[in-house]
Amino acid sequence: MKEQTKQNLRLCEIVATVNNDFQTKDMLEFITWYDGLRDLFLSKSRFFTTTDKIIWPAGSGVYVIWNGPIDCKELLYIGMTGTYRRPKDVGAPVINREPRGFAARVNRWTPYCFFDDNFSYGPVFSGNKKPIGNNQTNYRVTIPISEITIDFFVCGTDSVAPAFLESLLLQVYMNHRKDIPPANNAF
């Protein structure tokens, strides 16, 4: 069996576990499930993690922000960058990488931002207007970057779409917590 087919089957197994009754399982089950997904991406050299100083990998995919070590109580945000789009010449869909992929996320200001070596979320300003001033007055929560961990699941044309993976992670998290991560505004 080709390696790609084996990896696709493993991903299907991981997805199938979402159909289990997660409502009766504790948060350790989420971490175990997450570790399986991480191992799958590690086996393809498509998983990276960063602490203390953010090093953004090349490409597009899904990123998970934790407050400290991996513990579901401290999962802060699940997000994605990149989409599949059909080229203008009507060829096969390809992943549309933003000019800077993951690194472009550093320039966001809602629902979170990276500013002055801090990760802040819960904007107190309204609309899509860029805030003026510092994070202490513009966001409800500010955490030093030295205290967060960011996991990156890098997607490519031979992998799953970033939107699918982001939705899958959010769904499993929501099944466990009956909520979405605190820095996410919607799912």
Instruction: Check residue 23 and give its pLDDT.
Output: 47
- Tell me the Cα Rg of the chain: 17
Instruction: Check residue 178 and give its pLDDT.
Output: 84
Mean local confidence (pLDDT), 88-111:
68
Please, which pLDDT band fits residue 128 given cuts at 50, 70 and 90? low
- How do residues 9-66 score in pLDDT, each as one tens digit? 666 666 665 555 444 456 677 888 899 899 989 988 999 998 878 888 888 899 999 9
Q: Give domain limits for the chain.
A: 3-177
Instruction: Check residue 69 and give its pLDDT.
Output: 73
Asked if residue 184 has pLDDT above 70, the reply is yes
Instruction: Check residue 21 and give its pLDDT.
Output: 47
Round to whole Å and give the CA distance between 156 and 95.
Answer: 7
Strand, coil or helix: 152: strand
pTM (2 d.p.): 0.81
In which element (H, E) is residue 138 found? helix 135-138
Q: Could you give the angle at the alpha carbon of 58 between the alpha carbons of 49 and 119, nearest 5°?
A: 50
Six-digit token string for 89: 């010449």
β-strand pairing of 118-123 with 139-144: antiparallel
Mean local confidence (pLDDT), 84-112:
69
